Structure 1
Amino acid sequence: MEKETADQRKYSSIRFDTQDESAIMTDVLETVPYEYPGKDVEVEIPTAEFTSVCPWSGLPDFAEMKITLIPDQHLIEMKSLKYYLTSYRNVGIYQEHATRRILEELVQVAQPKYMKVEALWNPRGGLGTRVVAEYPGEEH
């Protein structure tokens, strides 16, 4: 039986269009007052639907993300968070950079006592990635 081989050269110049980081809609983020200042509560916001794209290939990167915070004066308004996270959908950004950027932008808006963003990125090519960013963070 003759072995059939595929011509892989046709894939070498394929690249899907990606947006740059200016497409991330930080300006939609809003907060609502936390009505119990001084009384700590831990808030967890999970999502299994976060997507961005690989800056090299334009192929999608999918992540389960969990945002954990202890508010001070403000909570993150959920609808604005959904729009913000969705704006990453076609942005070419490294997984580690996306996770860190999300933490920094949410901290800037909500000014929490504590926040952690955990992203479990789906494996591609056999490798998955778990990225954790915290505020305030420990110095390494």
Structure 2
Amino acid sequence: MAGREPEDLDGVTHLGSEKTSYTFDYDPSLLETFENQHPNRDYVVKFNCPEFTTLCPMTGQPDFATVYVRYIPDVKMVESKSLKLYLFSFRNHGGFHEDAINTIMNDLIELMDPRFIEVWGKFTPRGGISIDPYANYGKPGTSFEKMAQERLLYHDLYPENIDNR
């Protein structure tokens, strides 16, 4: 790959594999990282995941959402195919919407130790109501900690148009 040394991608096993296997049970070990090539700069990486599914822990019925993951990396970054496989692993997981979003964020913090991260789930309505849990984190003792507090207070002050419902 241009601009990358093979050691930069040590531990990345899903990318380029033609024999992808999908796990239907929650599995954070699917997540993989690679080294941030620009750790001297703050920049945002955003993933839009419009096909997230999980199961209601009470009824077993499927819940569908678009999940947004937005982060400012530090040293490590999440590899996108591993994130896709990880999110797919929620397919048979029974958990409330709020738990799923917080679990995703916690797993990504543990994996990457980012400067800042936010995870937002926009679940399609069931029973006439939609639930849109939001969670974030800013590295303690940094300006990102304050940023996370402010974004938590104001993240949905001007909600955008929701077109997946």
* TM-score, reference length from structure 1: 0.81
Identity of aligned residues (%): 36
SS at match of 1:89: coil
Residue 82 (structure 2) aligns with: 80
* 1:28 shift after superposition: 1.2
Runs of 4+ in 1 over 2 A off after TM superposition: 136-140
Counterpart pick for 2:63 among 47, 54, 61:
61
For residue 129 of structure 1, what is the amino acid of its counterpart? Answer: I
Q: Which amino acid aligns with 2:117?
A: M
Report the Cα offset of residue 85 of structure 1: 0.4
- Number of aligned residue pairs: give it: 118
* Structure with bigger RCO (C-alpha 8 Å, 6+ apart): 1
CA contact 2:36–2:76 (8 Å) conserved in 1: yes
Equivalent of 2:37, from 22, 35, 38? 35
CA distance in 1 between partners of 2:80 and 2:45 (Å): 12
**Post-superposition shift, 1:38?**
1.7
Q: Partners of 1:58 and 1:24 in 2: how far apart?
A: 15
Q: Which residue of 1 aligns with 2:109?
A: 107
1:52 and 2:54 correspond: yes
TM-score by length of 2: 0.69
CA-CA distance at 1:27 after TM superposition: 0.7
| Root-mean-square deviation (Å) | 1.4
Q: Is the 8 A contact 2:55 2:91 kept in 1?
A: yes
Q: Is contact 2:26–2:92 with CA below 8 Å preserved after alignment?
A: no
When you count strand as a share of all residues, which structure comes out higher? 1
Structure 1 residue 110, shift from structure 2 partner: 0.9
For the pair shown, the structure with the greater C-alpha radius of gyration is: 1
SS class of match (1:46): strand
List aligned pairs for 1:9-20, cutoff 5 A.
none
